Amino acid sequence: ELLPTPAKSHYTFNLRDIWKVFQGICSIKAKKISDPLVVMRCHCHENIRVYGDRLTNDADRKWLRGKLEEGLRDSFMID
């Protein structure tokens, strides 16, 4: 849904971006993970850091947050 256009030519995402998300999640120290919620929060943070920082308007940022919330709700039954 976030296809590149002339005004948003930087909306090109690739496997390197996914790698950055997983690298951020894997950088959590095991001692700091006392609750699965910490990992889920880190997952959302990394996605917003990698993908959200490229988004240029509030509608696209809202779309990303909605997708993250939907994923958490569907996969982990968390609001």
How do residues 45-63 score in pLDDT, each as one tens digit? 999 999 998 888 899 999 9
Please tell me the pTM assigned to this model.
Answer: 0.81
Short-list 17, 25, 60, CA closest to 41: 25
Q: 47 and 22 in contact (C-beta within 8 Å)?
A: no
Token digits of residue 19: 């790698």
Angle 73-42-79 from CA coordinates, rounded to 5°:
20
Per-residue model confidence as pLDDT tens digits over 19-44: 999 999 999 988 888 888 889 999 99
Q: 79 and 71 in contact (C-beta within 8 Å)?
A: no
Is residue 1 predicted with pLDDT exceeding 80?
Answer: no
Is residue 8 predicted with pLDDT exceeding 80?
Answer: no
Neighbours of 25 (CB within 10 A): 15
Please indicate whether residue 1 or residue 62 has the higher confidence score (pLDDT): 62
* Reported confidence tier of residue 66, pLDDT bands at 50, 70, 90: very high
